Chains A and B, each alone.
Chain A
Amino acid sequence: MTDMKKIVIITILVSLVSLLAYKTQADTNLPLVLDILSSKDLNGIAGDFVTVQAQITNISKQPITDITTYLSLVDNENKLPVDLEDWSAEKGLFIGTIEPNQVFPLNWKIHFVKAGIYSLVIVATSPASETPQVSRITHFKVSPKHNLNPAKVLPVALGVPIILLFIMGAINYRRQREEDRQI
């Protein structure tokens, strides 16, 4: 056997092994596709609400059970994951069974709690696979909001105690007059 033939055979064998290894790895992945339908970049002011719209599709020929989908939010400025408390009332969505080629809509109402730059992904896990499925990243840019409102609060902050003082004075005056009459 010539060297050339040896090289060709080895190349073919290595290719076959690589393909087999790739296929084995692919089989362990969940046959689910997570598509984010809403915009890739969502901007707003602290306090705003946005909806992240997504869908999950079973691309296999078998039903998949016990799928848990959840959000993962990262603060890009502080390089830390964010506790979703207050950001979303629904932390995760559980899907009992998803039939072959079935599409489930996933909508998350997100509350921009704090100013900053964030990255959000949707993760889907199932006991059927060791590897979760992850969506593409949605970027949040949240601007700070100043709730400065002295023009509206000042009349109330001053007015209510003044009205109460006036009422107190009127009650006291009336009581004094009643006492004087009794004397």
Chain B
Amino acid sequence: MIKQLWLKEIRAELYTWKSTLWLLIASLLFSFTSYLLLTNKELSLLDQTELLWLLGKIIIGVAFLIIAIDASSTITTEFEQETAESLFLSPISLKDFIVGKFLASLTLWAMIFIIAIPYIIVASSGSNLALPFLVYTAILGTLGIAGLITIIFGISLLYRSAKNTLTTALVILLAFSIPALFSSTLKTNTVADFFSRINPIDNIFSSLDNVLVDYQTSLLQNVKYLLPLLIFCIVGWVFLVSAAKRFKKEGVIKND
């Protein structure tokens, strides 16, 4: 049942202009960035590893934004378009419903990653960093996005409103993103350092920095960044499970 739901969702996601347009916009952003980095005389003075790190941050940032918007609507649309009732009348458990949607959102991330592959390869040309860049973008992106999706799905089940879920998701994303862009000198006090250690986006950017700029490419050398991301995923799942337990199937259809 999960597979059917997943395929249905992918079909709905990718069989429309709207969804594929997002992928086109993502590719245009990657094109613009990589072209600028490799052709602008001032920007080309950046060390190649710094250039790759910047590209990595843009790929992850664009993916987080697209997935946050998509995941905010994927469950709530079923309530707002009143299709949830018929779904729950069929022999579909809430678990299948959530896992199917979760896999569909992860598939969208996979598609963004596939689009980013040529840019990663061309920007890494001559540096031997293409493989670590690809592997770590895949691992870090998947962990971060999986955690983000679970939190947004949990909020969706509690709110049942696309507008409120989207607003909350964007606020969470901003709360994670803005401190991650601060320089290391601004993270010297205890509170900033603690938030930096638990912030998933900060951990993704720091791990990419560790791999691409400092050549610390083994998993062991990045475990201090991967572990908080794993914990973020677990916390997200716990939140989603508790939201699913509070969720009641009745009252899906409006009484008007």
Interface residues of A (CB under 8 A from B): 46-47, 49, 85-86, 89, 109, 111-115, 144-150, 152-154, 156-161, 164-165, 167-168, 171-172, 175
Contact = CB atoms under 8 A, between A and B. Distances in A.
B49 interface: yes
A146 B34 contact: no
24 contacts: A86-B213, A89-B214, A89-B215, A111-B49, A145-B45, A147-B37, A147-B45, A147-B46, A147-B48, A149-B122, A149-B125, A150-B39, A152-B122, A152-B125, A153-B34, A153-B35, A153-B122, A157-B34, A157-B119, A161-B24, A164-B24, A165-B24, A168-B20, A171-B15
A157 B35 contact: yes
Contacts of A146: 41, 44-45
Nearest to A89: B214
Q: How large is the interface on B (under 10, 10 to 19, 20 to 34, 35 or more residues)?
A: 35 or more
Contacts of B27: 160-161, 164
Contact of A89 (B30, B39, B45, B216): B216
Q: In the A-B complex, list the 3 residue pairs whose CB atoms are closest, starting with the nearest.
A: A157-B31, A157-B35, A153-B38
Contacts, number: 97
Contacts of A165: 24
Contacts of B14: 171
Contacts of A114: 47
Nearest to A178: B15
Given A47-B47, A114-B47, A148-B39, 13 more contacts: A86-B214, A111-B214, A111-B215, A112-B47, A145-B45, A147-B37, A149-B125, A150-B39, A153-B35, A153-B39, A157-B35, A160-B31, A160-B118
A144 B45 contact: yes
Contact of A168 (B21, B38, B50): B21
Question: Which of B24, B38, B48 has most A Cβ within 10 Å?
Answer: B38
Interface of B: 14-17, 20-21, 23-24, 27-28, 30-32, 34-35, 37-39, 41, 44-51, 115, 118-119, 122-123, 125, 127, 184, 213-216
B35 A154 contact: yes
A62 to B, nearest CB: 37
A48 B200 CA distance: 31
B17 A172 contact: yes
Contacts of A171: 14-15, 20
Given A156-B34, A164-B20, A46 B122 contact: no
Nearest to B35: A157
B47 A156 contact: no
